Amino acid sequence: MNTEQSSELQRAEWLEAGEMEQSTMNPAEAGSKETSSFVVFLLDGERFALPLDQVQIALRMVSVTPAPDAPPWVIGVIDLHGRVIPVTDLRQRLGHPAKEPYLDDRLLVMTLAERTLALVVDEVTEVLELPGSEVETPPDPLSDSRYLRGVVRREDGLILILDSASLFPSAAGPDA
């Protein structure tokens, strides 16, 4: 399966799950421009995104077993189809105050290198496909941010694209 087919399959699986809307670019813009797909989610009312190719699935919140001696932003672990997956509080990782997970929260299960982890988010809103030209470099002084990879301007506000390898360097492998 080539990369394009894999990307289409991922978008179809997301849409089939009924978890979110899909926004696509204008077909007139398609041409030879390279596009990127992102999963957009809410966290404390702000919109963030992660690359679609790193996100496996969005799940409803499940019971999380606390993990002793874990970093403060690791809530615990879950059992996902026979695999033990660490669950992270993305709020704390981004410097927001911690919040107890609610049943209506979502878990974004993602893979970095060959490690899998789940992120607690408020809501998953859409899969967004954009030409690379729409992803802007963060302006100074945010260009030095470890966690921010880019910014997307939309009519209804900004979407901050996170750099997952910087957020979770131990999960991204030794070269991150």
CATH of the domain at 13: 2.40.50.180
User: Nearest CA to 37 among 160, 126, 138?
Assistant: 126
Residue 15's beta-bridge partner residues? none
The whole-number average pLDDT for the span 49-63 is 94
Residue range of the domain that includes 28: 3-163
Report the Cα 51 to chain-centroid distance in Å.
6
For residues 132 and 139, give the distance between their C-alpha atoms in angstroms, rounded to a whole number.
Answer: 17
Is 158 a member of any domain?
Answer: yes
Domain assignment present for 113: yes
pLDDT for 37 equals: 93
pLDDT at 176 over 90: no
- How confident is the model at residue 165, as a pLDDT? 84
Is residue 103 in some structural domain? yes
Give the model confidence (pLDDT) of 150-175 as tens digits: 889 999 999 999 988 888 776 544 44
Q: How far is CA 55 from the centre of its chain?
A: 6
Most confident range, picked from 15-19, 24-28, 36-40: 36-40
pTM (two decimals): 0.75
DSSP codes of every residue in 51-98: EGGGEEEEEE----EE-TT--TTEEEEEEETTEEEEEEEHHHHTTPPP
Angle at the Cα of 162 from the Cα atoms of 77 and 70, rounded to 5 degrees: 25
- Is residue 142, in this structure, part of any structural domain at all? yes
Share of the chain above pLDDT 70, in %: 74
Residue 170 counted as domain residue: no
Asked whether residue 147 is assigned to any structural domain, the reply reads yes
Q: Check residue 157 and give left, alpha or beta (phi > 0: left; psi -120 to 50: alpha).
A: left
Statement: residue 129 has pLDDT above 80:
yes
- Residue pair 162/48 in contact by the 8 Å Cβ criterion: yes
Q: In what order do the strands lie in the sheet with 21-23?
A: 21-23, 123-131, 35-43, 46-51, 157-162, 148-154, 135-136
**168 lies in some domain:** no
- Asked whether residue 50 is domain-assigned, the answer is yes
Give the residue, 21 or 74, on which the prediction is more confident.
74
Q: How many domains does the chain have?
A: 1
Q: Would you say residue 5 has pLDDT above 70?
A: no
Q: Residue 83: pLDDT band by 50, 70, 90 thresholds?
A: very high
Largest CA distance in the chain: 53
